[in-house]
Amino acid sequence: MSDHPTPSARARELVAGAYDTHIHVAPDVMRRRIDDVSLAGRFAEVGLAGFVLKSHYVPTAERAEVVRNAVPGVDVLGALTLNGSVGGLNPVAVEIAGRQGARIVWLPTVDCANQRECQACEPEGATPPMWAQLQADLAEQGIMAPAIDVVDSDGAIVPALREVLSVIAKHDMVLATGHLSGDEITTVVDAAADLGVRRIVVTHPEFTSQRLSVQVQRHLAERGALMERCFTTPYTGKVSWDTLFDHIRRVGPEHSLLSSDLGQPFNPPVEDGLALLADRLLEAGFTEDEVHVMAVTNTRRVAAAPSAVTA
């Protein structure tokens, strides 16, 4: 029997037509709560439009196409994360992903220099990310990829990243900032905007290895970036709910994007994530219109889907 909360009918209705742009499901290199085909069926049942398959280690565009064909009516989208397993800041991998229809390119997460060097401690009682054990296993075997730098000693983006950003812009894919530091994110977002990248998402700015200030978030929002507010970050104790709500209010709901970051076996069902987050926001005093913008309008913008039709 699950101890997880259940979304309200009001929240379910409010997030109908949304995309969950950040999930982790099977098949994967670690245990997951559900597989992608089964999840697509559940999304259809609860009225969600689709989801983006995120893996820290492998491209997912081919997989997404298979799931779309297996479950018509649910828009499953592929992605690429530029960690060592795909060659890091590899413009060839990005070009191939773009030709396959991948929607999001995450900059390095588990292999970025910031994540490797991050000394931020998890708050007491927080649940550690599942990839941490896999990274430890790779290190024990002596085959962990070298840390990936995105900026040089002068604080400018490295040439390989400039090539990557150009390819993202050419294919009109979404740039997500991964686990970079605040200073790196600012440099990268400025460069991406200047290079013509039209859709930028700042990956969970409240996460332990990001911890972006409101001032930094406001600057990024001015450059057109959306701040990703992940359900799991407060749910697993990495940040307080009050801090998340405060950031949304001070940066502006119109600059925020809701996602779940779910799929771990010990967390709630993936299809419940957006609605559970909506319930928490409503309880905190956000309006239905504000929640709808964050959950539906902005996720559909990232997915490059037509605006949702409301009754």
Given a cut of 50, is residue 2 above it in pLDDT?
Answer: yes
pLDDT reported for residue 311: 40
Distance CA 43, CA 73 (A): 10
The model's pTM: 0.94
pLDDT, tens digit, 9 for 90 and up, residues 11-33 = 999 999 999 999 999 999 999 99
For residues 180 and 225, is the Cβ–Cβ distance under 8 A? Answer: no
Does residue 84 register a pLDDT over 50?
yes
pLDDT tens across 98-109, in order? Answer: 999 999 999 999
Average pLDDT over residues 195-205: 97
Which of the four pLDDT bands, split at 50, 70 and 90, describes residue 275?
very high
Q: How confident is the model at residue 116, as a pLDDT?
A: 86
Q: What is the pLDDT of residue 128?
A: 80
pLDDT in tens, 47-78: 999 999 999 999 999 999 999 999 999 999 99
Q: What is the pLDDT of residue 36?
A: 98
Show Cβ contacts of residue 21 under 8 Å, excluding neighbours closer than 6 positions: 51, 52, 104, 201, 228, 257, 259, 299, 302, 303
User: Who's near 307: CB < 8 A, 6+ residues apart?
Assistant: 297, 300
**Which of residues 115 and 48 earns the better pLDDT score?**
48
The confidence score (pLDDT) of residue 1 equals 38
For the stretch 240-249, pLDDT in tens is: 999 999 999 9
For 229-241, the pLDDT digits (tens) are 999 999 999 999 9
Reported as a pLDDT band with limits 50, 70 and 90, residue 158 is very high
Query: φ and ψ at 178, to 5 degrees?
Result: 65, -140
Nearest to 58 by CA among 32, 31, 26, 35: 26
Average pLDDT, the chain: 95
Question: Binning pLDDT at 50, 70 and 90, where does residue 121 land?
Answer: low
pLDDT at 126: 76
Percent of the chain predicted with pLDDT > 70: 96
